[in-house]
Structure 1
Amino acid sequence: MPTASLPDSPTVPAVPAPPAPPSRSARHDAALRAAARGLDRRRLLTLGGAAAALAFATNLPAAGAAQAAGFDARRLREDPFTLGVASGDPHPSSVLLWTRLAPRPFEPDSGLPASRITVEWELAHDERFTRGVRRGRTTAHPEFHHSVHVEADGLDAGRVYYYRFRAGSFTSPVGRTRTTPGEGAKTGELAFAAVSCQAYHDGYFTAYRHLADEDVDVVLHLGDYLYEYAVNAAGGARGYTDRVLPAVFNRETTTLEDYRLRYALYKSDPDLIAAHAAHPFVVTWDDHETENNYAGGQPENDVPPEEFLLRRAAAYRAYWENQPLRLPQRPTGPDMRLYRRLHWGDLAQFDILDTRQYRSDQAYGDGWQTPGPESEDPSRTMTGAAQERWLLDGWRTSRARWNVVPQQVTFSQRRNATGSAYKLSMDSWDGYPASRERLLAGAEQAGVDHLMVLTGDVHVGYGFDIKRDYADQGSRTLGTELVATSIASGKDGADRPANWETYLAANPHLKFYNGRRGYLTVRLGEESARADFRTVSAVTVPGASLTTAGSFVTERRSPGLKPA
């Protein structure tokens, strides 16, 4: 049967290293990357145990390269599927299936030997698996922390499937996934959800429990899947009284072991498990999967760049191990090609961006600042030159009715005060106006009049009209930006944050603003789209109710948000 799972010794062309942002020379960037790959063990030991562990992440062997011995799965005595299952990046004839074996997920080795373990998988048309479609075997390698990435192909386009895994006598939970319609195939409707920012220590993932019950085709995760910050024994704002989290979580993530354990904590959450099992995910990262507000190869704090690239290598490695991502996204040292393109028939083209790995360093620091020559330097980039060209070329050749751009930080202008004495966020696109202008001009030149930008990061829900010129509110509206609030980050929040009136007055193109936790759902039709901002009443206590805080429509040929 035609299948494609990760081979023991894959021979995959290396993804080229991304171009350096203009603010740093290519020679300097290459030197830093060489340092990140080539620091010898003696030097690493002088940098301390954490740096030595990070070096291991940079030079980890490919699966099978270490020739780890095999372990008979029949010897497993504890359920290895504690982290659930997931699927992602659906194509017309294939889908990526994921799980990770972890009988004891809060231990560094997950309770498993450093050995290869055979895992069986199967796909069916029904949840009881009476109508089987595909089945096969793959290997969970210790080099990848016993994660499994199966690319199941030969499937029918635009169809729902069910999947599960087996290891020894244990069977995983059942997952539900789907393939996309064929590229260019006539498609009348698509329903998707957008989520972001799930700080475990800020509250429960109640929104995911509600999302698991939503009738959507795919979920887009816009970044901050985990946070690097310490989580105390009580789970932070969760305030556990019935359990005590291990001390290994009560520190910032810096090593590969730290990041792996933090994913185990997050992915053990039952609400997140339920959402992954219910829907395929398309994921991209922001900053906290590595470190707050990093920019390209520049860390948040005063750390030598070569040491930060080692940390980035560890974070990227753990990210790929724990997400339903395909083989081309597997990282090479501190580099990982995460931007990619998916199609949903003739209805939508999804250009998934990475606005963190290739960006220029933030101007004037990474907070709210008065814009000036440094932030307005035309050489500054949010995406890097290669990704920018890829996006603009994709728009020029797109035949989709909707061009959807899942990405991380606020795209539209967002002034924090009325009048001339305003500040802008230097970490968002406001800190990179020339980069944003190139995209707006490119969209206009390509005839893209149906642009939809999806955003996370800011822990609130926004609805913006994307203006061709933010200095002229009468200028053309090129599309809409929909900002998904956080799953938990920021704790409970409020319907009207303290700056609610100021933001609406200072930004006439801002049509919606809400500060509760939750997610966004969008239903795309051939000529119009409906967006619903779904929020929960609290995340600091479990089981909160769900409501719709706002609903809007936008028309493909007349973009701009209008109340539904």
Structure 2
Amino acid sequence: MDSLARHLLALHRRGLLRGALGLAALGALPPARAQPAGGGAALFRLGVASGDPWPDGMVLWTRLAPEPLAPLGGMPAAPVEVGWEVAEEERFARIAASGTALARPEGGFAVHAEVAGLQPGRPYWYRFRAGGEASPVGRTRTAPAPGAMPARLRVLNAGCQHLEHGWFTAWRHAAEEEAIDLVFHYGDFIYEQAGRQPGQGGWGPPPVRQHAGGEAMTLEAYRRRYAQYRLDPDLQAAQAAHPFLCSFDDHEVDNNWAGPVSEEDGGARHPVAVPPEVFALRKAAAFQAWYEAMPVRRALLPRGPEITAFRRLRFGRLLEVHVLDTRSFRDDQPCGDGSGPPCAAVARPEAQMLGPGQEAWLLDGMAASGARWQVLAQQVMMMRRELPQGRLSMDKWDGYPAARARVLEGLAARGIGRAVVLSGDVHNAWAGQLHRDPLDPASPVLATEFTGTSITSEGDGAEIQPSTPEILRRNPHVAFFNDRRGYTLHEVTPDRFEACFRAVARVSRPGAPREDRGRFLLEAGRPDRLLRA
């Protein structure tokens, strides 16, 4: 325990902790500036973030952690009062809102301040204070007013950031993007796997940095993994620069988990099964750590192994984002998981990817929306992707074609013609279209999908893979593929929905420049035309 933590513990023992950390002199300290990890204030080494923007506010996040990889982040086991301020400009001369929140040891000393009363459709700056220290300054934005029709929105899609596979250079470029209204993080914020040493083998390229500790299975281990990732200065810069909309995929819990079923499901690939009641304990720990580490609202507070993470965000009359959870309510993957020729179980008509409740919520909400563009913000590829030798990936929607058909038929029945799917997970960039009949390219196009590549997962990558020509031949609805790391930037106007696939040449070394690899657009009223810009 360092000197700061010892000091806080001493104050607590004298009954003075709450008073010592009171924020009567909140405005007396000079404004802080965003600093690299390890160089900022001791309590705020994990940075700041904002998320889930509404027209009148958003969530502001931080976590007190003077020793981020230590239990409880090196904090004493006592609540700490944390002040927050939101300003109309970066110098904090005009304060728009302020308040306090209690960082509790039960919640890993995370703070989720739900701010309201702000003006719609404009930038704000925010900071925290505790223990005589100021956090780095973050920048965020409110959503447009409900009845507004914005001239333009800019949305960034990214995820899959395996720390061992590379440097988070793409996040530094994302931080430098201007006027971003929202960053959709589709998941795999962390990877739960044990640390790997160079030369050990295992999945992915030789590690350029190592995970601390073994595979995460307990609350403290998940907390430490999030802390290690959040110490990265490029990730901190991106989260301090823009509001995030955070979801989760599999690696926040366990690779390829499905509902109550662990990856170790008793099948041929993992013959020793983890009982569902035991896996529920791991899910509870993982979800609590995820909630503690994300700028999300209290409505997403998990209930043991259960969480309601699907939700909607509205951006005036221009855009509605439907955030899906494709993990919690799905069936176990068919055919023993992995990829291979489809077995009989792939054709099961009752297959569930979203579960009946979420599926109805999605389709009914889209029908009632009235927004110019509607986005299904989710995790795994929805469009069909036939691999060489006729193989399908059973973890994607290809393993659940009946569930995909219900969603697509629901769009058609409700006359929803401007649907865009955002996804990730596969560590490559793709653009393509979803036909009413995935096996008939002449059938109507019901949605367009833009799949973001990874921030680092699977290393440097390349322009194409050896199998790419064969995959494109088998999938005529696919218009674009690239295997570099990066993110996707979307510009949305009343008339157009654009996608720019931005990449870095390498992640094995830091500092690679940003390069654009492809740009596509949809025109309102023409869902059947995906144009290269």
| Structure 1 partner of 2:269 | none
1:122 matched to 2:85? The reply is yes
Q: Give 2:414's match in structure 1, choosing from 446, 454, 461.
A: 446
| Residue type at the aligned position of 2:438 | Y
Alignment match, 1:437: 405
| 1:369 Cα offset (Å) | 2.3
Aligned mates of 2:215, 2:188 — CA distance in 1: 15
Which aligned pairs between 1:100-499 and structure 2 lie closer than 5 A? 100-215=63-178, 216-232=180-196, 237=206, 239=208, 249-301=212-264, 302-417=273-388, 422-499=390-467
Q: 1:426 deviation in Å?
A: 0.7
Q: Structure 2: which amino acid aligns with 1:486?
A: S
How far is 1:70 from its partner? 7.0
1:276 counterpart letter in structure 2: Q
- Within the candidate set 80, 96, 100, 2:59 is matched to 96
Alignment partner, residue 7 of structure 2: none
Aligned to 1:504: 472
Counterpart residue identity of residue 459, structure 1: H
Instruction: Letter of the 2:86 partner, please give it.
Output: L
Give yes or no for contact 1:80–1:101 (8 Å, CA) kept in 2.
yes
Q: After TM superposition, where is structure 1 displaced by more than 3 Å over at least 4 residues in a row?
A: 72-78, 232-240
CA contact (8 A) 2:41 2:134 kept: no
Give the distance between the partners of 1:223 and 1:322, measured in 2 at CA.
13
With the length of structure 1 as denominator, give the TM-score of the two structures: 0.84
Is the 8 Å Cα contact of residues 21 and 81 (structure 2) preserved in structure 1? Answer: no
- Between 178-187 and 489-498, report the one with greater CA deviation: 178-187
SS at match of 2:72: coil
Instruction: Give yes or no for contact 1:232–1:249 (8 Å, CA) kept in 2.
Output: no
1:356-384 CA-partner distances (Å, limit 9, x unpaired): 01101110111112223311111110001
Deviations 1:93-121 (A, max 9, x none): 12100000000101112111000001010
**2:73 counterpart SS class:** coil
Contact 2:321 2:374 in 1 (8 A): yes
- Corresponding residue of 1:551: 519
For residues 517 and 210 of structure 1, the distance between their equivalents in structure 2, rounded to whole angstroms, comes to 12
Cα deviations by residue, 1:240-264 (Å, 9 ceiling, x for unpaired): 6xxxx7xx82310000010000000
Match of 1:527 among 484, 495, 499: 495
Shift of 1:159: 1.3
Cα displacement (A) at 1:416: 0.7
Find the counterpart in structure 2 of residue 4 from structure 1: none
1:46: which partner in 2?
A: none
Residues 340-370 of structure 1 show CA distances to partners (whole Å, capped at 9, x for unaligned) of 0110000011000000011011101111122
Q: Distance in 2 between matches of 1:260 and 1:412?
A: 34
**Which amino acid in 1 is paired with 2:381?**
T
Asked if the contact 2:197–2:207 (Cα under 8 Å) also holds between the matched residues in 1, the reply is no
| Residues 78 and 177 (structure 1), Cα distance of their counterparts in 2 relative to 1, 3 Å cut | closer
Question: Which residue in the other structure is 1:514 paired with?
Answer: 482
What is the CA–CA distance in structure 1 between the aligned matches of 2:206 and 2:172, rounded to whole Å? 18
Distance in 1 between residues matched to 2:300 and 2:348, nearest whole Å: 31
What is residue 17 of structure 2 aligned with on the other side?
71
Aligned residue identity for 1:220 = F
- Partners of 1:162 and 1:425 lie apart in 2 by 43
RMSD between superposed Cα atoms in Å: 1.8
- Structure 1 residue ranges without an equivalent (≥5): 1-68
Runs of at least 5 residues in structure 2 that lack an aligned partner in the other structure: 1-14, 23-39, 200-204, 265-272
Change beyond 3 A, Cα 1:219–1:185: same
Report the Cα offset of residue 270 of structure 1: 0.3
| SS, match of residue 62 in structure 2 | strand
Deviation at 1:475, TM superposition (A): 1.1
Matched with 1:12 is none
Query: 2:302 is aligned with what amino acid?
Result: P
Q: CA distance change for structure 1 residues 448 and 318 in 2, over 3 Å: closer, same or farther?
A: same
| Deviation by residue 1:17-68 (Cα, 9 ceiling, x = unmatched) | xxxxxxxxxxxxxxxxxxxxxxxxxxxxxxxxxxxxxxxxxxxxxxxxxxxx
Contact 1:293 1:300 in 2 (8 A): yes
CA contact (8 A) 1:161 1:177 kept: yes
Q: Are the aligned partners of 2:319 and 2:372 in contact in 1 as well (CA < 8 Å)? A: yes
1:188 Cα deviation (Å)? Answer: 2.1
Between the aligned partners of 1:403 and 1:553, the Cα distance in structure 2 is: 15
Matched, 1:561 2:498: no
- Post-superposition Cα deviations, 1:415-453, rounded to whole Å, max 9, x if no partner, equal 013xxx511111000100010000001111111111100
Cα distance, 1:395 vs structure 2 = 1.4
Q: Is the 8 A contact 2:85 2:98 kept in 1?
A: yes
Pair 511,370 (structure 1): closer, same or farther in 2 beyond 3 Å: same
CA distance in 2, matches of 1:156, 1:249: 42
The 8 Å contact of residues 237 and 540 in structure 1, kept in 2 or not, is answered as no
What is the Cα deviation at residue 239 of structure 1?
Answer: 3.5
Task: State the secondary structure of the residue aligned to 2:74.
Answer: coil
Q: Provide the identity percentage.
A: 45
Q: Which residue identity is paired with 2:307?
A: M
TM-superposed CA distance for 1:237, in Å, is: 4.8
- Whole-angstrom CA distance in 2 between matches of 1:395 and 1:428: 22
